[in-house]
Amino acid sequence: MAPLRFSANVSWLFPELPGLPARLRAAGSSGFEAAEVAWPYAEQPEALARAAREAGLRLVLINTPPGDREKGEMGLGAVPGRQAAFREGLEQAVLYAKALGCPRVHLMAGRVPQGADRAAVRSEMETVFLENLRHAAGVLAQESLVGLLEPINTRITDPRYFLDTPQQAAALLQKVGRPNLQLQMDLFHWQIMDGNLTGNIREFLPLVGHVQVAQVPGRGEPDSPGELNFPYLFQLLEDEGYRGFVGCEYRPQGDTVEGLNWLRSYWDRQGRPQAGQ
């Protein structure tokens, strides 16, 4: 069984360091082979691509732009009336993905509009999302890119987020039926919404294009105190034949590099993946 491949989420890790290029360098020197970044759009794509290359990293995931954060937007995929902005954001994400050699783009669903009742707007938002996903699948396919749907928990992190369970995401993927749209499995969010991780990992892994991890409920390192038994979960992913990346999207509890003991001991135990596997 191949060891898991880990990716440093530099939007979360190395908060000690200013700016993405410095964080990419730190990820490279910590032994990561890959990195991901939520929103790279404040940096020039060429400068970021160069920083990643120099750090010996490949970029494996970026998100579509959040929209107007001042107005509380957090992605636009399912937001009625924002279809044109979603498409513009998608073009920008594709431009960056190409420049960065990044194969995956998380298509952010966005939030239930302020003041609206979730149940009342659900079917309209689903219709908008399906239409945007069909459009996105076509645009991404032209560039051989994969689009990902990520459920985000509405209990703690983002109470108004539209897409919040693996079941909801899987149903949308089935309706759209495009092979280059997949599921992004963030075990932090999945545990909070649904638990039943063993069953859900086994059921949904065939749809999964990317995994992310953090301890629950504190969102710290996998070996920080909390509900999740990561040695068990990592073993399960290996046993189930997962071949994608596992993104470290957590909030370091102290110094990032010191906090990577869990990963160094994984590498000591399982070995590191061979480059290009």
The Cα–Cα gap between 22 and 25 comes to: 5
What would the DSSP string read from start to end of 40-67?
-TTS-HHHHHHHHHHTT-EEEEEEPP--
Q: Which residues contact residue 193 at a Cβ distance below 8 angstroms, ignoring those fewer than 6 apart?
A: 151, 153, 154, 155, 164, 165
CA-based radius of gyration for the chain: 18
Alpha carbons within 13 angstroms on the beta-carbon side of residue 257 total: 11
Q: Phi first, then psi: what are they for 135, rounded to 5°? A: -60, -50
The Cα–Cα gap between 163 and 249 comes to: 18
Active site residues: 150, 249
Alpha carbons within 13 angstroms on the beta-carbon side of residue 234 total: 24
Q: 2 in helix, strand or coil?
A: coil
Q: 76 in helix, strand or coil?
A: coil
Cα separations in angstroms, 188 against 103, 156, 272 = 23, 11, 24
Tokens of 190: 């999945």
